[in-house]
Amino acid sequence: MHPAFSVVFLTTLIGTGQGLFLALFSAQAYTELNLLPSMSDTNFFGMGSAIALAFLVSGLIASVFHLGHPERAWRAASQWRTSWLSREVIALPFMMAMIFVYGVMHLFGLDGVIYSDASGNHFSYSLIVAGSLAMIASFILFICTGMIYTCIKFLQEWATPLTVINYALFGTASGFTAAAAFSAFYNAPEITKFFTVWAIILTVVVLFTRAATLYRNSRIKHKSSMKTAIGVRHNKIEQKAMGMQGGSYNTREYFHGKTATFLKSVKYIFLVLVFPVPVLFLVSGLGSADAGLLITAFVVQFAGLIVERWFFFAQANHPQNLYYQTV
Amino acid sequence: MTQLALVIDLNVCVGCHACVTSCKEWNTSGPAGAMSDDNPYDKDPTGTFFNRVQTYEIGTFPKTETLHFPKSCLHCEDAPCVPVCPTGASYKREADGIVLVDYDKCIGCKYCSWACPYGAREFDEHQKVMKKCTLCVDRIYDESLPENERKPACVLSCPTSARLFGDVHDSESEVSVAIRENAGYQLMPEWGTNPSNHYLPRRKTKLHYHEDELQRADNPLNKEHSVAPVDAPTLDDSTSW
């Protein structure tokens, strides 16, 4: 497939936005259960939500560039019974609205305690009402985004549950890295360590699932061949003409147009940028909670994720390409 | 239930592209607007088409064979492009099984074209909507046309009658009989799309002779080679004429 930068940025940006929110949500849950020291600054979660929303809005803006008729985008919510894309179109704004409510409750002091016990464990409205809904919507959104690609069964590189798992884990890993960078920048060291440790864990876990996907795809056996494409039982079928000279949508949309060497180098670039380099920065920032180190970790990982997403699209082999091999 | 479809006879197709040009001519002049082109008379011409004719070479020289292969939307019975559409712009008609795009609802997200294994859909770069073969839905029901012209433009234009049009769910229709009697097949059956359009394979007319048919035991010509015994009585000896 030809990677569209609008979709590359959409999926990476909303993934980070979702992950950042999930990081904030879990930090708040930990503090309210006294597993983490409570935050001295109540604006922390509000500001964090604003940053998460900024990522999500940027993703939404990127997605507009993918559409031929963005003014009709509201129609895309109608086919949620059959289309994962439609489900994503519903889940994304719902989640953004809930994160907005969550952030507003924190920033404007509209929060209150819903339940507390003798040992000081408590739950606030922001966590239980807006936060939980946004958290559920965020997981649903990860599933929707992944399923958009997984459900096309003849794009065999995508048609695996690993696609959904990778989308969810890449999003949360980059989100926790972003949260670590944000909390260090915000000078909230009591919580930075929590984010950093989880960012390292998630990055290592997603290394395994992404490596498993790469291994699976390197051994893939494509079901379609020239034989099934034109229905002629012969092992040697060669296209002599595709029916046009100057190319068409079919030659532009489904081919990345790069060499195999280029594709291979892109794979190694993302493997370096997403995993070892950020983990190195995260580990070195673990003790000091140094904002510079953690922000670098996030920037490098996010750049790597853009490369990873490009590779994800480019690697997928569409069976229609069998019909378009020679001018 | 009706399922309109095309049956394309690869045994007859000569690869003349008449179906491609007549399709473009009819559909670019239709009420849905032009099928836009870029650089039509210049370097790298490109544009939106519903139908393409491709050419394949099968085998290794000198045992090769050329196959001309027209490809358009196959109007699948389980069309994978329809359920993925987020707006409902892509739909399959209940009445006749034609898969269509509502150009006024399409947001141009291109997801349906990803979900078509045949690459039958083409995005119109100027109208910014997805386009595809309509089986000339604006022509086949037009009662102002004489009845024998209520067929897709490609079918009417084919000089060798390689394209048949009809209801593949009606067992006695011309298309069903053609599929049944000439081993009609579907493309990429491995994806379970159940395409309505069928292709008829190349069929070789071959005569099979047995050795006996070439060397007839009672061939009178062979009698000339047989020599009569020398001392046997001749006809004159044994008759009294």
Residue of chain A whose Cα is closest to the Cα of B188? A228
Q: Are the C-beta atoms of A38 and A31 separated by less than 8 Å?
A: yes
Report the pLDDT value the prediction gives residue B92, as an integer from 0 to 100: 97
Q: How far is CA A203 from CA A149, B46, B82, B167, in A?
A: 22, 45, 37, 56
Per-residue pLDDT band at B231 (split at 50, 70, 90)? confident
Å between B68 CA and nearest CA of chain A: 9
Residue of chain A whose Cα is closest to the Cα of B185? A231
Per-residue pLDDT band at B1 (split at 50, 70, 90)? confident
A51 pLDDT above the threshold of 90:
yes
Mutate one of A78, A233, A248, A327 to test the B interface: name it (highest B CB count within 10 A): A248
B218 pLDDT above the threshold of 80:
no
Q: First-to-last CA distance in chain A? A: 18
The answer to whether the Cα torsion of A68, A74, A75, A77 is positive or negative is positive
Q: Is A50 exposed, middle or buried (0-12, 13-18, 19+ CB in 10 A)?
A: middle
Q: How far is CA A205 from CA A11, A144, A166, B94, in A?
A: 19, 21, 10, 48
Per-residue pLDDT band at B205 (split at 50, 70, 90)? confident
Q: Which of A16-20, A120-124, A220-224 has the lowest mean pLDDT?
A: A120-124
Q: Say yes or no for a CB contact (<8 Å) between B108 and A69.
A: yes
Q: Which of A18-32, A235-249, B225-239 has the lowest mean pLDDT?
A: B225-239
> Which residues does chain A have within 8 Å of residue B190's beta carbon, measured at their own beta carbons?
223-224, 228
* DSSP, residue by residue, B134-201: -TTHHHHT-TTS-GGG-S-HHHHH-TT--EEEEETTSTTSHHHHHHHHTT-B-S-GGG----S-EEEP
**CATH at B172:** 3.30.70.20
pLDDT over 90, % of chain A = 85
Secondary structure percentages of chain A, helix, strand, coil, to 5: 70, 5, 25
A135 pLDDT above the threshold of 90:
yes
Q: Are the C-beta atoms of B54 and A241 separated by less than 8 Å?
A: yes
Q: How many CB atoms lie within 10 A of CB A272?
A: 14
> Which residues does chain B have within 8 Å of residue A155's beta carbon, measured at their own beta carbons?
114
Tell me: the pLDDT tens digits for A286-315? 888 889 999 999 999 999 999 999 999 999
Report the pLDDT value the prediction gives residue A289, as an integer from 0 to 100: 80
Token pair, residue A242, equals 């595709």
B229 pLDDT above the threshold of 80:
no
A108 pLDDT above the threshold of 80:
yes
Tell me: the pLDDT tens digits for B116-174? 999 999 999 999 999 999 999 999 999 999 999 999 999 999 999 999 999 999 999 99
Contact of A148 with chain B, judged by CB distance below 8 Å, is answered with yes
Per the domain annotation, does B220 fall within a domain?
A: no
Q: Say yes or no for a CB contact (<8 Å) between B86 and A85.
A: yes
Tell me: the pLDDT tens digits for B43-69? 999 999 999 999 999 999 999 999 999
Token pair, residue A327, equals 């001018």
d(CA A83, CA B113): 14
Q: How far is CA B156 from CA A159, B19, B33, B203, in A?
A: 41, 8, 22, 23
Per-residue pLDDT band at A120 (split at 50, 70, 90)? confident
Per the domain annotation, does B117 fall within a domain?
A: yes
Q: Which of A32-46, A102-116, A148-162, B219-233 has the lowest mean pLDDT?
A: B219-233
Indicate the CATH number for domain A5-230+237-323.
Answer: 1.20.1630.10
Per the domain annotation, does B75 fall within a domain?
A: yes
Report the pLDDT value the prediction gives residue B240, as an integer from 0 to 100: 77
Report the pLDDT value the prediction gives residue B230, as an integer from 0 to 100: 79
Q: Say yes or no for a CB contact (<8 Å) between A68 and B89.
A: no
Report the pLDDT value the prediction gives residue B239, as an integer from 0 to 100: 82
Helix or strand (DSSP H, E) at A140: helix A132-150
Mutate one of A83, A144, A156, A234 to test the B interface: name it (highest B CB count within 10 A): A83
Q: Are the C-beta atoms of A284 and A196 separated by less than 8 Å?
A: no
| Residue A257 backbone zone (phi > 0: left; psi -120 to 50: alpha; other: beta) | left
Per-residue pLDDT band at B223 (split at 50, 70, 90)? confident
Q: Are the C-beta atoms of B178 and B200 separated by less than 8 Å?
A: yes
Tell me: the pLDDT tens digits for A178-196? 999 999 998 888 899 999 9
Interface of A with B in 268-287 (CB under 8 A): none
> Which residues does chain A have within 8 Å of residue B85's beta carbon, measured at their own beta carbons?
79, 83
Number of domains in chain B: 1
Report the pLDDT value the prediction gives residue B88, as an integer from 0 to 100: 95
Q: Which of A122-126, A214-218, A281-285 has the lowest mean pLDDT?
A: A122-126
Q: Say yes or no for a CB contact (<8 Å) between B49 and A236.
A: no
* Mean per-residue pLDDT, B85-114: 96
Tell me: the pLDDT tens digits for A65-74? 999 999 999 9
Helix or strand (DSSP H, E) at A135: helix A132-150
> Which residues does chain A have within 8 Å of residue B111's beta carbon, measured at their own beta carbons?
83, 85, 148
Tell me: the pLDDT tens digits for B75-84? 999 999 999 9
Report the pLDDT value the prediction gives residue A118, as an integer from 0 to 100: 83
* Mean per-residue pLDDT, A103-116: 88
Per the domain annotation, does B229 fall within a domain?
A: no
Output phi, psi for B46, to 5 deg. -150, 155
pLDDT over 70, % of chain B = 99
Residue A40 is given by DSSP the state S
Q: Say yes or no for a CB contact (<8 Å) between B56 and A86.
A: no
Lookup result for tokens 């290592």: A204
Report the pLDDT value the prediction gives residue B219, as an integer from 0 to 100: 73
Q: What is the CA radius of gyration of chain B?
A: 28
Per-residue pLDDT band at B222 (split at 50, 70, 90)? confident
B182 pLDDT above the threshold of 90:
yes
* Mean per-residue pLDDT, A127-134: 93
d(CA A218, CA B183): 37
Per-residue pLDDT band at A90 (split at 50, 70, 90)? very high
Report the pLDDT value the prediction gives residue B224, as an integer from 0 to 100: 73
Domain spans, chain A: 5-230+237-323
B215 pLDDT above the threshold of 90:
no
- Give the 3-state secondary structure of residue A168: helix
Per the domain annotation, does B123 fall within a domain?
A: yes
Å between A107 CA and nearest CA of chain B: 36
Question: The whole model's pTM is what?
Answer: 0.91
Q: Say yes or no for a CB contact (<8 Å) between B191 and A239.
A: no
Tell me: the pLDDT tens digits for B2-34? 999 999 999 999 999 999 999 999 999 988 889
Contact of A238 with chain B, judged by CB distance below 8 Å, is answered with yes
Of the partner residues B52, B116, B199, the one whose CB lies closest to the CB of residue A243: B52
Report the pLDDT value the prediction gives residue A117, as an integer from 0 to 100: 86
Per the domain annotation, does B116 fall within a domain?
A: yes
